[in-house]
A and B are shown apart, each in its own frame.
Chain A
Amino acid sequence: GAGVSQSPSNKVTEKGKDVELRCDPISGHTALYWYRQSLGQGLEFLIYFQGNSAPDKSGLPSDRFSAERTGGSVSTLTIQRTQQEDSAVYLCASSLAGGGGGNEQFFGPGTRLTVL
C-alpha cells in the first residue's frame, strides 16, 4: 500500500471487553511503533518493534495491553478487559529503520477507541 493503514478506524466497546487493533505498515519498513493519544494530549509511546529484535514494551501502561508483529509486517495491539480510561486514539507508525539516524515516521490515520 501507499501508506500505513489501520483498522478499524473507529471502535466502540463495552467496559470489560477485549479489543484488537490492527496496523499494516509500509512495505519494507522494519520499525513499527504504537502510540496512544488522549483528547488534547500529546502522543504516549506504547511499544516499538524493530526487525527481529525483541520489542520494546516499556510504554505499555498495564499487563492488559499486549502487541505482536507477525512476519515482520502486520501488527496487532490487544487490550484486554477494556476500561474507560483506555478511550483514546491509537496511532501506529512505521519507519525504514529505528535505531540510527533520523528516520521519518509515517503515521496511520489511527483507531479511535471508545470504551463505554
Chain B
Amino acid sequence: SQQGEEDPQALSIQEGENATMNCSYKTSINNLQWYRQNSGRGLVHLILIRSNEREKHSGRLRVTLDTSKKSSSLLITASRAADTASYFCATRFSGGSYIPTFGRGTSLIVHP
C-alpha cells in the first residue's frame, strides 16, 4: 500500500503534556500533510510540509520530515482537552498519483 501509516494507533495523555505521532510511508513523496478529525466527521487541514523541508511550525504544532527514513512526526506541545481527536497524515507521491492518500490515523485523547 502506498498510504502513510500513523503510529501509535491510540495515545492517551494528560492535559499539559506533549503528544507525538508518527507517520511512515513507502515511496518518494512531493509533500506530506497532517489533518485532524473530530467525532468521525470532516477533516481539518493542520500543516503541510514539502519534501525539501525538514521542519515546520504552526502554533503549538511542530512537524518534522525525514525523507531518508520516509517518516514524519507531529508534535503537539502543551496539549489541551480540545486537542482530543484523530490525526491523519496524507501523502502525495512524486511522479505518481495526485490523490492524497490517508493512513488509518492516531486517536489522541487528552484528559483534563
Contacts of A104 in B (CB 8 A): 33, 45, 48
A51 to chain B, nearest CB (A): 12
Closest to B47 in A: A104
> Is the CB–CB distance between B88 and A42 below 8 Å?
yes
Q: Which of A35, A100, A102, A106 contacts B33 (CB 8 A)?
A: A102
Closest to B89 in A: A42
Q: Which of B11-19, B36-44, B58-66 contacts A (4 or more CB under 8 A)?
A: B36-44
Known: A56-B99, A102-B30. A91 touches B43 (CB 8 A): yes
Contact with A along B65-92 (1 / 0, CB 8 A): 0000000000000000000000010101
- What is the number of residues of chain A that contact chain B, defined by CB distance less than 8 Å? 27
> Is the CB–CB distance between B99 and A42 below 8 Å?
no
Contact with B along A100-113 (1 / 0, CB 8 A): 11101111111000
**Chain A at the B interface: SS class:** loop
Taking the complex as formed, is B101 at the interface, i.e. its CB lies under 8 A from any CB of chain A? yes
Complexed CA–CA distance, A19 and B50 (Å): 39
Interface residues of A in 32-60 (CB under 8 A from B): 33, 35, 37, 39, 41-43, 45, 48, 56, 59
> Is the CB–CB distance between A102 and B104 below 8 Å?
no
> Is the CB–CB distance between B42 and A110 below 8 Å?
yes
A56 to chain B, nearest CB (A): 7
4 new A-B contacts at CB < 8 Å, known A35-B102, A48-B98, A93-B43? A42-B102, A43-B43, A45-B101, A107-B35
**Which 4 residue pairs are nearest across A and B when measured between Cβ atoms?**
A102-B31, A107-B42, A42-B104, A43-B102
A–B complex contacts, Cβ < 8 Å, 11 sampled: A33-B99, A35-B102, A42-B88, A43-B88, A48-B98, A102-B50, A102-B92, A108-B42, A109-B41, A110-B41, A110-B42
